[in-house]
Amino acid sequence: MQPDVHHGLLGRDQGFAIVVAMMGLLMISAMAVALVLATTTDALIARNFSDGATAMYAAETIALRTIDDLAAEPDWSAVLDGRAHATFFDGGAGQRALADGSTIDLTAIVNVWNCGKGPACTTADMNRTTVERPWGGNNPQWRIYACGRLADLAPGVRSTSREYVLLLVADDPSETDGDSSVDGDGAANPGSGVILLRGEAFGAGGSHAVVDVTVARAGPRLRVVSWRLGR
């Protein structure tokens, strides 16, 4: 009896067709997964961009809001040495819980700006001459002047803002008195009547923004000398 060659070829063709069909299904599945991942990635990118932009607006808002308080302060030395605070102030030290459940440490934030390390700064640390802080004894020594939840910034106004904001102040480093806690005499110090502000905002998903502002007294008002976003 002759073997059924036709039947054998048919079986092999069917097996090959099944393999091709399975490969097609796998390719379709892979494309579907890639589409889902791409969509998810795009959504994450969009959300991160939105969170970052919101944080930047929040940092600018606290800077603008605090300028009014500083204009009303009769003695900026009291601001620089920590005796005076803005009306928007929730304590200025320790940890704060953010809306997404994470926390920030305000004390550590200030220390990092002042000497590059979170736990603590000595006077020698803050007066050390570095590339970023080349003024030695006139290095800015940052203190918290205003802080709190952005949603609480305007009492009586309903807000969905989730950012925590703070405003740091420091003496202008162009002064020559070697004392960052005193706004020096104008006759001897070119930086007298000038103060540095640093607005920071912390939001969801680790979003963070900084705005650096320099203001100077101009009669009863303040003049914005410089305004720089991001750092």
Rounded CA-CA distance 5/162 in Å is: 75
For 33-56, what is the mean pLDDT? 60
What's residue 189's pLDDT? 75
Closest to 206 measured CA to CA, from 122, 75, 104, 59: 104
Rounded CA-CA distance 145/79 in Å is: 7
More confident residue, 12 or 68: 68
Tokens 């440490």 belong to residue: 105
Angle at 128 between CA 127 and CA 129, to 5 degrees: 115
For 194-207, what is the mean pLDDT? 92
- Burial class (CB within 10 angstroms; exposed 0-12, middle 13-18, buried 19+) of 74: exposed
Is the pLDDT assigned to residue 51 strictly greater than 70?
no
Which tens digits make up the pLDDT trace of 160-180? 788 999 999 999 998 888 888
Is the pLDDT assigned to residue 49 strictly greater than 50?
no
SS3 152: helix
More confident residue, 158 or 113: 113
In DSSP notation, 100-123 reads TS-EEEHHHHHHHHHHS-SS---H
What's residue 36's pLDDT? 58
Q: 89 - beta bridge partners?
A: 147
